[in-house]
Amino acid sequence: MTTHATRTPTGSSAPGSSAPGSSAPGSSAAGDGARREGAPGGTARLGRYTVARIGFGAMQLESRSASEDAAVAILRQAIDAGVNHIDTAQFYPGCNTVIRTALTPFPDDLVLATKVGAERDPEGKLVPAQRPAQLRAQVEENLATLGAEQVGVVNLRRLDARPGILAEGDQVVSLDDQLAELATLREEGKIGAIGLSNVSADQLGHALPAGIACVQNSYSLLDRATEPVLALCRQHAIAWAPYFPLGSAFPSMPRVIDNAAVLAIAAELSVTPAQVGLAWQLAYYQGTLLIPGTADLRHLAENVAAGVIKLPPASLAALSQLAG
């Protein structure tokens, strides 16, 4: 029997939501706005779904980075902690397979979000895969490796700007053509909602009529270059799932946990610098959905615990000025 990662809605959608329709057998009321008890960070909307505001990013569970046993333990602990939004991708080697191993039969309220727009070449190198037919093939591959009839959210990773690889030649594709293919997949019931990743405010504004459930852009309290995109998400009540929420090893992205002001506030509150950075994100926009990843159980517990940290007004103000 094929498992369901989420409900299987049918029909067309309004902006900011996935397609309305009846639920699949055995699904919960989470898709209708039910509140989840003990949801880390509280809850927010992800298209038609209600999810915990602290989710989990699976990238660090790639087969080349973590053993299968460790990855299974992390995923199960995340679910036990109240996480019900997991971000993955077929081009994260082994991640979909370990999610299927660890979590099937999938919990009724679990929303799996994947990304399309890139793939691995025969040598394992990440390369663009932006053409509509390639997007469809990637969705089908995700469904097969996850063992699901539908993926809750599919985020289209645009490759117009860094960080990461860039589209060239025949991989420079119209956003309209991509959205048309994803909308068809949504109508077919293979995906529940459409998201965007690595987009500009102009691109998000152009895509709004297609019904956008979320945006994944690089964003931290020290690097807010994509603030105009977040502002548009606020305006249209679109979920915001920042990647690199604590910065990264890229030279242009400062690491939040190394910042002196963050370190001082963390010491004052007896929390970790990472928790300060995540708590600030949650406080800054109520539609923020965090998807921090880790292959360490202790770090997972710390990430989940960030959801109960309430930063004092003075700390929030000081942190909010850091990127100014």
Give a three-class secondary structure readout of 70-119. Answer: HHHHHHHHHHHCCCCEEEEECCCCCHHHHHHHHHCCCCCCCEEEEEECEE
* Residues with Cβ within 8 Å of residue 162, at least 6 apart in sequence: none
In this prediction, residue 64 has a pLDDT band, given cuts at 50, 70 and 90, of: confident
Q: Is the pLDDT of residue 301 over 70?
A: yes
In this prediction, residue 5 has a pLDDT band, given cuts at 50, 70 and 90, of: low
**What's the mean pLDDT in 239-264?**
93
Reported as a single tens digit per residue, the pLDDT across 203-239 is 999 999 999 999 999 999 999 999 999 999 999 999 9
- What percent of the chain has pLDDT above 90? 84
Structural domain spans, the chain: 29-257+277-311
CB count in 10 Å sphere of residue 111: 30
Task: Look at residue 313 in the predicted model and tell me its pLDDT.
Answer: 97
Task: Look at residue 110 in the predicted model and tell me its pLDDT.
Answer: 98
| Dist CA 142 CA 135 (whole Å) | 11
* Residues with Cβ within 8 Å of residue 53, at least 6 apart in sequence: 39, 40, 41, 42, 43, 44, 282, 288, 289, 290, 307
Task: Look at residue 253 in the predicted model and tell me its pLDDT.
Answer: 86
Which residues pair with residue 87 across a beta bridge? 57, 113
Among the residue ranges 26-40, 64-78, 262-276, the one predicted with the least confidence is 26-40
**What's the mean pLDDT in 117-122?**
97
In this prediction, residue 8 has a pLDDT band, given cuts at 50, 70 and 90, of: very low
Q: Is the pLDDT of residue 161 over 50?
A: yes
Q: Is the pLDDT of residue 129 over 80?
A: yes
Asked if residues 188 and 199 have their Cβ atoms less than 8 Å apart, the reply is: no
Higher per-residue confidence, 49 vs 37 = 49
Active site (catalytic) residues: 92
Q: Is the pLDDT of residue 22 over 90?
A: no
Fold held by 29-257+277-311 = TIM Barrel (3.20.20)
Cα–Cα–Cα angle for 184, 187, 189, rounded to 5 degrees: 115
**What's the mean pLDDT in 107-116?**
97
Task: Look at residue 66 in the predicted model and tell me its pLDDT.
Answer: 82
Amino acid at 21: G
Name the packing angle between helices 68-80 and 297-305 (round to 10°). 20
Residue 122: both structure tokens together: 């025969």
